[in-house]
Amino acid sequence: MGGNGFLMENYFYLEHSPIYQDKYIIRFDYNTSLFTAGTSGSYDVFISRLLNLSYTDYLRYARDRLGAQLIGKNSRHVTVLYDYTAKPLVNLLNKRLEYIINERDFPYDYKEDDGKIELIPFDENEGNN
């Protein structure tokens, strides 16, 4: 369960590479209906944004810090291949995306005064903008 009492969605998961033995690719679950329009490219850019990195910094981070193998240096899309040890990264991505979705769906802070709870929209709460 997530910290808010809801079950955490698994938006991202590790999938066996169809070509490279014992390697995995981080995939996005299209069945979540999060992005109904889909994409014409890779979700790796989305992953980089969830990590607050540029795409190139994400590729460097994956290679240098997580031991990922990068395939397709001169192609349109680079394939990032991980060992199964990337499971904590997948968990982090799921938690960050769940946090963003929760903030979108419930954009309020609150204050409590004598047992009365008052919801404060984030646009009125300077500390949360």
Residue 4 lies in a domain: no
Q: Which of 29-38, 59-68, 82-91 has the lowest mean pLDDT?
A: 29-38
Residue 123 lies in a domain: yes
Q: Is the pTM of this model over 0.75?
A: no
The pLDDT confidence band at residue 36, using thresholds 50, 70 and 90, is low
Residue 1 lies in a domain: no
Can you tell me the distance from the alpha carbon of 56 to that of 29, in angstroms, rounded to the nearest whole number?
A: 23
Can you tell me the distance from the alpha carbon of 63 to that of 78, in angstroms, rounded to the nearest whole number?
A: 12
Residue 3 lies in a domain: no
The pLDDT confidence band at residue 30, using thresholds 50, 70 and 90, is confident
Domains in the chain, number: 1
Q: Check pLDDT > 90 for residue 32.
A: no
Q: What domain range is 99 assigned to? A: 12-128
Other residues' Cβ atoms within 10 Å of the Cβ of residue 104: 8
